[in-house]
Structure 1
């Protein structure tokens, strides 16, 4: 039997190129419109003029990285659904953050929490916290970038190094060119794509096996674990 070709077809490559081109174009658009990213307020704070929905989508997208799409699905398949218990902490912590912490930073009009740390505890505390966070994000972003590049390499046949470069360069490009406005709008675009992909998989699964069939298979595989 001939080995099945799992790589992209022509249409797939065109769609993939359009996704990267659209993300890059958003950065270019905001680089040459409005204030052209010439002020700190526009570049870092999106001129404080963005509507609620792009900001909300961007916050949501920060919790929906490739680690979530690939890692959580794998975790549930391999070890069961107990992982979803983590959502209980969000139900408790999110209202606390919204009504106790965020109003403080909003009243101070700080760009970041590090400004608050300097005002409250001094420059040394701000520097240490900033360095610690930078180190954490350098390690974290390596995994976040590696995961989609690994999936991209598997379905396109492109080498892993080129996959990492293509994703990383485009993300760096639109972020640096378009500032926070480009980041927010691109997050909306990418969030819609992620949810469309997730719901496409769910729809296909329900169509092929039905809801009862899916849960029956999960039960047989001892994956329905919530309180163990």
Structure 2
């Protein structure tokens, strides 16, 4: 009967951080070569040790979940590998109970939901920031457009005022000229009457 196993090991990365990938690949390969099925590889990352081990205060934690038939005795095989690898500081392999499995799955769902919520909030924040960035640009374009239209409207009005002023001056000139032309014959007529009187 297949069981769910969990193996946790701590890798010394003080000399070479790439040792984590090397050890993890070796353990997963051993499990698969002996009939096990990898369910999940979960790197916990670098953490402080509860107590000093081999003069080391920090180590890199890795957790691997796998299913295998209990008769294959895979836990014994991988623990032998741990003992022979001097880069492995500590290790633990055990059978996951149904209660722990249910709790693990519940925690996974909660973690996934929290990640989705965080991603949604981040997306909303980016959208709000984009809207705030676009608003001043649109306001500037609108103001510039309004100012340009105002200049276009003012220019013809000023031109029209100048034209009207010129027309008024011309009308006055014409009126003055007309009056002068009308007064000239009147003077000539008076002169003729004077000549006639003198003749008499």
Give TM class, smaller chain: under 0.3
Structure 2 length-normalised TM: 0.25
Which gives a bigger RCO, structure 1 or 2 (Cα 8 Å, sep 6+)? 1
From the CA coordinates, give the structure whose radius of gyration is larger: 2
Q: Which is strand-richer, 1 or 2?
A: 2
Q: Which is helix-richer, 1 or 2?
A: 1
Structure 1 length-normalised TM: 0.23
